[in-house]
Each structure stands twice: as structure tokens, then as C-alpha cells.
A = this chain, B = another copy of it.
Amino acid sequence: MNLETKPGSIPPGTASKKIVGVLDFDGRADPETDPKLDLATARRIYEAMLRTRAIDARLMRLQRQGRIGFHVGCEGEEAAILASAAAMRDQDWLFPCYREVGAALYRGLSLQTYIDNMYGNANDIPKGRQMPDHVTARAQHFSSITAPIGTQITQAVGFAWAAKIRKQDVVTATYFGDGATSSNDFHAGMNFAGVYQTPTLFLLRNNGWAISISSEQQTHSRTYADKGVAYGVPAIRVDGNDALAVYGVTRAAVERASAGGGPTFIELVTYRTGAHSSSDDPTAYRETMESEEAQKRDPLRRLRRYLDRQNAWSDAEQTAAEEKITSELSVCIEKAEAAPAPSIASMFEEVFEDMPAHLVEQQAECVNGPRTRKRH
């Protein structure tokens, strides 16, 4: 018997590899898929993408100057992040990976708070305990960013499940990368979401790379969306550099989840145009993207062209927006650099709700002990 010829021997999952898109490279919308976003929202998304890119550039410069210790940005992935965040309702929650700080800002996190986090100073919400870019933003319904890959995924499922149990209309969206699909929590999270039909969106930013591992090396599945089959979770591939497509698909998934239709797995097909982080030098493992091609695909340019076609954005507005974020950043950076480091005592706080005896003792030992000559 030859397996090749047996029914069932060809992997199932032969559904469309098609990638949903709305905008072409010149910003023309496909009427069939156009979510018909109101222009105010489209402008808001564009502005946020613009801001995010400007912030990333500035922070990377600060890192190179040795003024901050680390930065991980999202160059090239702004549409995937901001248009999806914009499609979530206020009551919904985001469980981010580490590239989605822009989404927290979109939802109202103050720039100063973010910059304080980049400096890990006394005004930082996590009190300088975490690395830069690991923000926490409860008021923005944005969980605490963590470094271990994938762990937020099961948490997003549990949070949505809690809402479902309590009959609250809350949808959660969790962001993660192509590398994270190999993690234990992706497997468990997708499985639990399928079994309990939790209102959860799995937002996979397939940006082509997990540090130096290409998305083709990461798995032998035909597409990442195909992984939904293993869990009975409906999956869809979307052009992640097309803000309107991202918005439309995400919004539809939110509505389905909110109506009791369960989870959706969305593969946002995008590309990490920059380095993995400030610690990475991608020339060791990949060719730089052919620049004209990259420009064509650029999510900002495509949305800008769309807005231009509607006369909804101008060069003057562009300049004003850029100047605004530049000066806002300068103010925030100056303030952050002037702020003191977190107090030494704070290092022992919030391990538990109440400080146990051994930490009271250690705190006293540390606070009253000698100081290092090394700066922090």
C-alpha cells in the first residue's frame, strides 16, 4: 500500500492560501473587501502609525547614544499593530508581545509614561524593574509586557474565558510573532480557546523572522493560518501592511467573538524591516530587503496614499504631525532624564501584597548597607 495514494494521506488544510487585502500599492481600495472605515478613524490610525515610527527612530537613536539601554521597535509592522488595536472596542483587552507599545499609546497611554519606562526611572509604572519597552497599562486594558515568548497567549484566553463565565462582553486580543507559534503557550492557548470557545483573537504578526530564524524555517506547515486547523479555530490570512484590511478582518472577528462565535486566528502577513532589536545586527543572517519593494509595501505609504485619494491628509498635516511628536518626545525625554532612579526601598515592594518578614529584613539590610560605586 502506498500512503501517497491513500485518502487522508495528503495533509488536509488545503483551504485558500489567499491573503485578504483592501489597498493596492497606490492606496486604491478594493470595494469588495473595503471595511468602509470612517475617515476620522482612518486618520487616527495613520497618525498613530506615523507617531509610532517616529518614536521608534528616536528611541533607537537614544539607544545608540547610550542614553537608554535597549529598544525593540516595530518598523514595517505598524499597520498590523495599530489598525488591529483600533478595531478593538474600549472594553476589550490586549495581551501584547513586546512590539505593540504603539497600541497602548493609541489607547491613551501617555507618552511621558512610556518614556519613563524606557529610562526605568522613579516615575515608571513598573518602577524600573523591567527592561525598556516592557510597559504595563492597566487603564488602557493592556496587560504587562513580558519577555518569555508566548506566555501572554494562554493568559489572553483565560481572561476572555473569565469574561465569558461572568457574562461580560469583553474580547481579548493577543499579539505574538511567527516564532511564538512554536511555543507551548500557543499550543495550549489555541486548544483551550477552541474547546471553550472563548472570545479571543490570536493576532499573529508573521514578520518573516524570529531573530535570525526565517518564518520558513520555523515550521513545515504550508501557511501559519493552517495551524488553526489543529484546534478547530477559524483562521484567516491578511495583508498585515494594509491597514484597512487589518482593521476590517479584526473588527469582524471582534464582532463574531462578542456575539458568542468564539475565537479567530488571524495571520497578519508583514515584514520586520529593521533589526530584531537594538541588540541585533541582521546583516549576519539576511540580505537587506530590496528597498524599492520595501517602500511599495510600506504600510504608512499605502495608508497615506489612500488618505490622499480621499483628500483626507495633506503635506502640511504630515509636517505638523511629525513636528508635534518630535517636540513631545524632546519634552518627555528631558523630563525622564531628569527624574531620579527608583528608590532602593522600592526594589523590595510589591513582591507580595504585604511585605513579609524576610523582605523587611533584606530591605533594611540593603537600604542601610553600603552603596555600590557603579551607577544605575
B195 touches A219 (CB 8 A): yes
Of the stretches A158-166, A226-234, A318-326, A366-374, the one at the interface is: A226-234
Contact between chains at B231 and A221 (CB < 8 Å): yes
A205 at interface by CB-CB < 8 Å: no
Among A17, A225, A234, the one with the most B-chain Cβ atoms within 10 Å of its Cβ is A234
Within the complex, which residue of B195, B235, B249 is in contact with A12, where a contact is CB–CB below 8 Å?
B235
Interface SS of chain A: helix, strand, loop or mixed? mixed
- Least Cβ–Cβ distance between A326 and chain B, in angstroms: 37
- Shortest Cβ distance from A230 into chain B, in angstroms? 4
Which of A61-69, A186-194, A280-288 faces chain B?
A: A186-194
Whether B225 lies near A230 (C-beta < 8 A) is no
Closest chain B CB from A235 CB (angstroms): 6
* A222 adjacent to chain B (CB < 8 Å): yes
| CB-CB under 8 A for A236 and B3, given A220-B194, A230-B230 | yes
Q: Judge if A10 is at the interface, Cβ distance under 8 Å.
A: yes
Is A182 in contact with chain B by the CB < 8 A criterion?
yes
Distance (Å) between the CB of A251 and the closest chain B CB? 8
One digit per residue, 1 when the CB lies within 8 angstroms of any chain B CB and 0 when it does not, for chain A 226-253 equals: 1111111111110000000000110111
Q: Tell me the count of chain A residues lying within 8 A, CB to CB, of chain B.
A: 55
Whether A15 sits at the interface, judged by CB under 8 Å, is yes
Interface residues of A in 3-21 (CB under 8 A from B): 3-4, 6-18, 20
CB atoms of B195 and A188 under 8 A apart: no
Complex interface: chain B residues within 8 A of A197 (CB): 220
A7: which of B9, B16, B229, B252 is its contact (CB, 8 Å)? B16
Contacts of A236 in B (CB 8 A): 3, 6, 8-9
The reply to whether the CB of A218 lies closer than 8 angstroms to some CB of chain B is yes
Cα A373 to Cα B317 with chains together (Å): 87
Inter-chain contact A2/B252, CB cutoff 8 Å: yes
24 A–B pairs (Cβ distance < 8 Å), ordered by A? A6-B236, A7-B20, A8-B15, A8-B237, A9-B234, A10-B234, A12-B12, A12-B14, A12-B225, A12-B226, A12-B229, A13-B226, A182-B191, A184-B184, A191-B220, A195-B217, A195-B218, A219-B231, A221-B229, A222-B232, A226-B230, A226-B232, A227-B229, A229-B230
